[in-house]
Amino acid sequence: MKDAFLNKLVKEVITKYPDSLKDVCIVVPNRRMILFLEKYLTANDIKTETFPKLIPINDFITELSGYEVAEPLTLVFELYETYKHFQPDETFDQFYPWGEIILSDYDLIDKNLVNARALYTGIKNIKELEQEFTLHLTEIESFKKFWESFSDEDISETKKKFTRIWELLGKTYDNFTESLREGKVAYEGLIYRNTAENIEEISDSIDVKIIFAGFNILSKAEMLIMKTLLKKGKAEIYWDTDKYYADDKKQEAGRFIRKNFTDLEIKKPEIKEDLLLTDEKKIDIYAVPLRAGQAKALGKLLNESFQSVDPEQTAIVLPDESLLLPLLSALPDMFTEINITMGYSLRNTSLYTLMELLKDMHTITASTGKDTLFGYRYVKDILEHPYIKSIDFDETIELTKKLDDTKRVYFNRELIMEQVEGELEAVDRIFKLIERTKDLFDYIEEIIEVIEKNVRGRKGRAKGFEIYQIEQFKKHIKDLKGLMAGFGDEIEPKTAWSILLKTLRSIKIPFTGAPLKGLQIMGVLETRGLDFENVYMLSMNEGTYPRTDLGKTFIPVGIRKAFGLPTFEDDDSGYAYNFYRLMQRARNFTIFYNSEVDELNQGERSRYIPQLEFELCRQNKKIDLNNYIVSAKADAPKLEKITIEKSDDIMERLKELEFSASRLNTYINCSLQFYFRCIAGLREPEDRDGIIDPRQFGNIVHNTLKRIYEDYIERDITPDDFPSLHSIIDEKLEEVFEIEFKGEDYLSGKNRLTRNIMKKLLGMILETDERTAPFSIRELEKGIDSEVTFPDGDTQVKLQGRLDRVDVCGGKVRIIDYKTGRVEWRHAQKEVSDQFYTEMFMEPRYSSLFQAYLYAYMYLKKNAGEKVQVGIYPIKKLSEGVTLLNNGKELTLDQMKGFEERLEKLFAEIFDRDTPFRQTTEEERCKYCDYKTICNRNL
């Protein structure tokens, strides 16, 4: 691109220093710009050996300082050693989660030349702050305002703790930075501070012309370095700006450019364009449903415009870098050369996913005595991970099945290995106990060794990249192992796991290939100083561009503002500059945003889109701006309705079935759902995570009530019996838990809370029953069966169920169903009628009532001469006691003829060979269905 900023810069430098380019040093914000500078120098016939020195700003300042940048983890360890002098009882495991935040704050303080002692001054020293430190009046007032809330006599314990920690951070800073200076190693911020504070002296040894180019937001350290070198005639600055935002004080994009001109006393900046208000541009804005939908829409657009797009003059910018893989999948095949500048994050690899699973398995454990137990869900996920399953495929599948069949929630190593047939190398290494941090790294290296051996034995094109990923893992794990070796057993394995995963997440694998050829895919910061004729920018939503977080910090906003540290407003100005600067020289600028509004309101388009529509376009009539709405269903294939005809096998299966209320309710809800669940036997994978689920909750409560009352069956229960009944709740609840969990440890975390809730509920049920006494119980948790005979007299259908409770109260028999779920109370007390029975057999919302009436029907068939009341005991409304249906009136078998007739009609439909199983037409019923993905009804 001939009019690109970097090309103009190169021409300017060549013209100015034609015979002394080697004595020039060009300093830029990032390394990506250096590649393009080299490209433009070559295009202008400059030989490599005569190139000026090209260097990013952080390397430039580090070279001037004479310091070395230390590894981040080394710095956290060093910081902890200093911190221990003041807090000797705090372990590294306690310190690590916030040690990195402290280090980040120190880095920010130093890059902005903030007086750390002043910043970490507490409430007692504000007068000292006014006298000793050269802060502006507004800074002192902001500082005072923050601490005002700490001056009350009744200051809270939380504020006292903050004050103590705050002052401690100041002491730690002083000792930590002094220690680093002595060793001539430091974090980047301290290197910036040292260089800025000594730049007068350092500048005397600089014997080349420094050219700073393409900068916008400058830290105070960078500002002081540039200002000193400018005044001494050692440097020049080239700004990449446009009059549209640089001259208009209302434009936030130019806020820091204007500030830089003032602070650096620049009257006529080099390379100031007037492009945004004068150039012809085509701006297309696409509203696309869903994040990944943007990648697909872009792929389609590139496919249609391939002939007119020069790949080397085209950039795809990803504010949300997680869209990289969806984008690569969506790009047309004709783009044979693609350069991905952001690299490929290790966190997106299958090996990283395995590391996360291993970490969860080892850190979320249970224990019985000295034995460590692994949760079933983690064991299963690891065995089904592609890397593990592919090593011994058949054997691993068989092992998973055996473990599944045990129905256990937790396993120790011995229980797992007992199920192994033969020798499974990966399994043997995975389920080892890790007692020390040193063991952790040996453990991981052993597992990766087995995986690498398996991958190297495969065939296929993808093998090379997988091996490259594995090699990167091995390198960084080895480095981390060496770093942590010095701490011995001071670091717990759980903390070591966290450090390991955080380190791996931060690593990106560079993609190979010619860096300047083909389509360019990059992150936002990598676009600085670069220009392209065609720009495609995705994820242009509020919260993504601009982002809305400053990262983790201990420095409150009030103190940040008082000391001139970066705020949200500063970040927003930086985002605005990057956006408009990238647009300056582009001919075609295409924006995509997610039009789907989620629970975090992420469907709001970025503020820069309306700015283009209502500000820039009104001032530059040469801009052709178009809005497009992409429909998610535009290219969706027409979905055929699913119907299952009743074959001979299906008819035989129906005859074998015993029909419960649950199965009949499933059929009423959706006959296809009934087929999937009851005929085909499709089941959602069992989630055995050791946490009591709603089904278990109901079973435990029911079975405990049975045990509590079992010695009182067929006898009158009076108020005098309830003290004894209350006294055995704990004992009976414990018995049921032991049976449900087969002796495993079940009282950890949430389960302990759930057990307490159950105990309270059982006590409340007894209190409610006591108010109803006297009564007698005939049956508890009693299985019941019945048959329905078709009018032809030959076909009989088996019914089965379980009566929660049959009691006699006030001389009346009551069929009571305990309910922990939702009940259609609006119709619960309706008197039975033909209309009511019809509704019950058609509407799923009556499922609780249907079950209660079905059990009453089955009971009356067994006890034909009796009358019964039908009741529901709602666990969620215990204080209301039993709610009697049918307005409290008793029912006889004769009065349930209408129910029986509809039951026979329902079975006639189920067994009618000419009536297939069909999807429900009421799609709202699909919302919580296990099979909605099969039906393509992902509501």
CA distance 228 to 239: 18
Structure tokens at 360: 């969860």
- Give the mean pLDDT of 513-536: 89
Domain boundaries, given as residue ranges, for the chain: 5-67+195-273, 71-186, 281-343+514-629, 347-509, 648-685+772-926
* pLDDT tops 70 at residue 142: no
Instruction: Give the pLDDT of residue 425.
Output: 83
* pLDDT tops 80 at residue 324: yes
CA of residue 384 relative to chain centroid, distance: 22
Query: Pairing state of beta strands 338-340 and 314-317?
Result: unpaired
* pLDDT tops 70 at residue 441: yes
* pLDDT tops 80 at residue 130: no
- Give the mean pLDDT of 557-580: 90
- Give the mean pLDDT of 791-816: 88
> Can you tell me which residue has the tokens 């002491």?
171
Query: Reduced to 3 states, what is the DSSP secondary structure of residue 320?
Result: coil
The residues facing 780 across adjacent strands are: 805
CA distance 617 to 900: 73
* pLDDT tops 80 at residue 30: yes
CA distance 606 to 598: 15
Percent of the chain past pLDDT 70, that is, above it, reads 89
- Give the mean pLDDT of 857-872: 93
Sign of CA dihedral 361, 363, 365, 371: positive
CA distance 284 to 305: 14
Q: Phi/psi at 234 (nearest 5 deg)? A: -90, -10
Q: How confident is the model at residue 841 (pLDDT cuts 50, 70, 90)?
A: very high
5-67+195-273 belongs to CATH 3.40.50.2300: no
Packed helices 157-183 and 72-83: angle between N→C axes, nearest 10 degrees: 120
Helical (H) or strand (E) element with 178? helix 157-183
Lowest mean pLDDT among 158-172, 504-518, 520-534: 504-518
Instruction: Give the pLDDT of residue 682.
Output: 83
CA distance 81 to 75: 10
Neighbour-count burial for 68-100, b at 16+ CB within 10 Å, e otherwise: ebbebbebbbbbbebbeeeeeeeebeebbeebb
The Cβ of residue 168 has, within 10 Å, a number of other Cβ atoms equal to: 14
Instruction: Give the pLDDT of residue 490.
Output: 75
3-state secondary structure labels for all residues of 810-873: CCEEEEEEEECCCCCHHHCCCCCCHHHHHHHCCCHHHHHHHHHHHHHHHHHHHCCCCCEEEEEE
Instruction: Give the pLDDT of residue 131.
Output: 47
Highest mean pLDDT: which range of 239-253, 414-428, 833-847, 869-883: 239-253
Q: How confident is the model at residue 639 (pLDDT cuts 50, 70, 90)?
A: low
- Give the mean pLDDT of 324-330: 88
* pLDDT tops 60 at residue 350: yes
Residues 214, 8: contact at Cβ < 8 Å?
no
Query: Pairing state of beta strands 410-411 and 281-288?
Result: unpaired
Highest mean pLDDT: which range of 42-51, 359-368, 402-411: 42-51
Query: Reduced to 3 states, what is the DSSP secondary structure of residue 128?
Result: helix
* pLDDT tops 80 at residue 95: yes
Instruction: Give the pLDDT of residue 148.
Output: 56
CA distance 176 to 172: 6
Superfamily designation of domain 281-343+514-629:
P-loop containing nucleotide triphosphate hydrolases (3.40.50.300)
Neighbour-count burial for 559-579, b at 16+ CB within 10 Å, e otherwise: bbbbbbbbeeebbbbbbbbbb
The residues facing 345 across adjacent strands are: 508
Structure tokens at 306: 């391939």
CA distance 43 to 179: 48
827/611: higher pLDDT: 611
CA distance 229 to 200: 8
Residues 508, 562: contact at Cβ < 8 Å?
no
pLDDT in tens, 735-783: 998 888 765 656 566 788 888 999 999 999 999 999 999 999 999 999 9
Among 664, 657, 661, CA closest to 801: 661
CA distance 653 to 693: 30
CA distance 445 to 500: 13
Tell me what the pLDDT averaged over the chain comes to: 87
Structure tokens at 503: 């380190």
Instruction: Give the pLDDT of residue 354.
Output: 95
190/91: higher pLDDT: 190
Sign of CA dihedral 563, 568, 569, 572: positive
CA distance 372 to 176: 40
Instruction: Give the pLDDT of residue 123.
Output: 46
Q: How confident is the model at residue 183 (pLDDT cuts 50, 70, 90)?
A: very high
- Give the mean pLDDT of 612-622: 96
Same fold: 5-67+195-273 with 281-343+514-629: yes
- Give the mean pLDDT of 825-853: 87
Percent of the chain past pLDDT 90, that is, above it, reads 58
Residues 899, 853: contact at Cβ < 8 Å?
yes
CA distance 874 to 885: 13
Residues 383, 402: contact at Cβ < 8 Å?
no
Q: How confident is the model at residue 636 (pLDDT cuts 50, 70, 90)?
A: very low
Instruction: Give the pLDDT of residue 146.
Output: 55
Burial class (CB in 10 A: 0-12, 13-18, 19+), 854: buried
3-state secondary structure labels for all residues of 391-454: CCHHHHHHHHHHHHHCCCCEECHHHHHHCCCCCCHHHHHHCCCCCCHHHHHHHHHHHHHHHHHH
Strand segments, DSSP code E, in 171-256 are 185-186, 209-213, 235-242
Sign of CA dihedral 577, 582, 588, 593: negative
Structure tokens at 741: 């969990």
Q: How confident is the model at residue 253 (pLDDT cuts 50, 70, 90)?
A: very high
Helical (H) or strand (E) element with 53? strand 53-56
Structure tokens at 266: 């620049």
- The pTM of the whole model exceeds 0.75: no
171/749: higher pLDDT: 171
